[in-house]
Structure 1
Amino acid sequence: MAVITQYVVVREGVEKMTFTSKKEADAYDKMLDIADSLIPFIQGAGLDLDDGKTEKLAFYLATHKDDLSSLLKGAPLAKAEAAPRKNTRKDAAD
């Protein structure tokens, strides 16, 4: 019998993602916190985006926070990073 330790990120009673390391789970949870904080910021732009698109944009920006931070500091985005990245993690629930 094998024992497997799993870390589950849960938001509002919904499982978002399962990890095998606490470090990865904490990083994902922090990214979700950033996305949650970005939603009212994006809504304040007056772009008339629906809630779904606002959440997707906030999630995208939070996922790419390092690239965004560099861009905001005036650094160019590396060409290899300019291509859309594929998410290699499998969501437990959307």
Structure 2
Amino acid sequence: MAVITQFVVVREGVEKMTFTSKKEADAYDKMLDIADNLLPFLTLADLGLDENKCEQLAFYLANNKDELSNLLKGTVQVKTPAAAKVKKASAKNTSAE
């Protein structure tokens, strides 16, 4: 018989996710904490978003906190889909020459 250690993230009595490593479970729990903290901040912005959209936005921002932090510091620019297409096209043009 095998013994499997699992780490379960539980919020308000609801099981959110199960992990095999404590590090991953802690990271997910921290991301949920950040999303929970962002929710009232976004609600105060009066953007006209319903509760579900606010939760989605808070989750997205929390999930991408490192890139968001760099953007707020001004150290990196946003990678837009259009910019990626231009970069690919210019790479194809220079390799074809």
Q: How would you bin the TM-score normalised by the shorter chain?
A: 0.7 to 0.9
* 1:7-61 deviation per Cα after TM superposition (whole angstroms, max 9, x unaligned): 0000011110000001110110000000000000000101111110000000000
Do 2:71 and 2:78's aligned partners in 1 also have CA atoms closer than 8 Å? no
Structure 1: gaps (5+ residues): 84-94
Number of paired residues? Answer: 81
Q: Please give the root-mean-square deviation of Cα atoms over the aligned residues, in Å.
A: 1.3
Report SS of the residue matched to 1:15. strand
TM-score, normalising length: structure 2: 0.79
In our comparison, the structure showing a higher alpha carbon Rg is: 2
Give 2:92's aligned residue.
Answer: none
Q: Which structure has greater helix proportion?
A: 2
Alpha-carbon distance change, 56 to 78 in structure 1, aligned in 2, over 3 angstroms: closer
Cα distance between partner residues in 1 of 2:36 and 2:78: 27
TM-score, normalising length: structure 1: 0.81
Structure 2: gaps (5+ residues): 82-97
Alpha-carbon distance change, 56 to 23 in structure 1, aligned in 2, over 3 angstroms: same
Displacement of 1:76: 2.5
Higher RCO structure (Cα 8 Å, ≥6 apart): 1
Displacement of 1:75: 2.0
Do 1:67 and 1:77's aligned partners in 2 also have CA atoms closer than 8 Å? no
Give 2:84's aligned residue.
Answer: none
Cα distance between partner residues in 2 of 1:38 and 1:48: 16
Amino acid at match of 1:16: K
